[in-house]
A and B are shown apart, each in its own frame.
Chain A
């Protein structure tokens, strides 16, 4: 059973607000990822981390930022939300013990910016 949590599950917020989407995992996985999922369901990698104090940008340009101060925690922050940020955000994790490409996903946060 995968133990990866995301909060909030749903968020409606006004333009210009600062928000943080939380992601935590209890499996001790060293690698964590953030994906943005568009309405057509396609996944876009926006950030990833291969360990504490390590963060990288993904394939899709994003105005969000991430931090990795603890192994189990990988929050994503939007300093000033805009309607274009409306999307589903999925957090995932993996470990060296797993085959490359095998990831565990959280339930997602559906963000709506009005």
Chain B
């Protein structure tokens, strides 16, 4: 079945550091890929998405590129802020499949001033 594997956290960085959160997936065909973010005390919200190979999703300074050859969708940001502290979820939805996404287990990011 479909699955998403994220790097375990917490990831702890100083402000203005470079961020990478790794995400790899297993799915048949060409799934759509997502990153969701959950700030403390809130629900998840969509951060960015990519629906086909080589697409780059971007939002709020975050980027992720859909790499079919490595089945990856790593999240990056060039300079993190304290306000980026949150839990990040990678997710996929199989092409033509269920409306219910398959989520990774989440990666906690802590940014220190």
Contacts and interface: CB of A to CB of B under 8 A. Distances in A.
Interface of A: 2, 4, 6, 31, 33, 40-43, 45, 48, 50, 58, 90-92, 94, 99-108
Interface residues of B, number: 29
Nearest to B9: A41
A105 B44 contact: yes
B101 A41 contact: no
Interface of B: 31-32, 34, 36, 38, 41-46, 49, 51, 87, 89, 91-95, 97-101, 103, 105-106, 108
10 contacts: A2-B45, A42-B105, A43-B44, A48-B100, A92-B43, A99-B93, A100-B32, A101-B101, A107-B41, A107-B43
A41 B92 contact: no
B49 A102 contact: yes
B38 to A, nearest CB: 7
B42 A101 contact: no
A45 B100 contact: yes
Nearest to B45: A105
Contacts of B101: 100-103
Contact of B93 (A41, A91, A100, A104): A100
Contacts of B103: 42-43
A80 to B, nearest CB: 26
A41 B38 contact: yes
A102 to B, nearest CB: 6
A48 B43 CA distance: 17
Contacts of B92: 101
A41 B108 contact: yes
A101 B105 contact: no
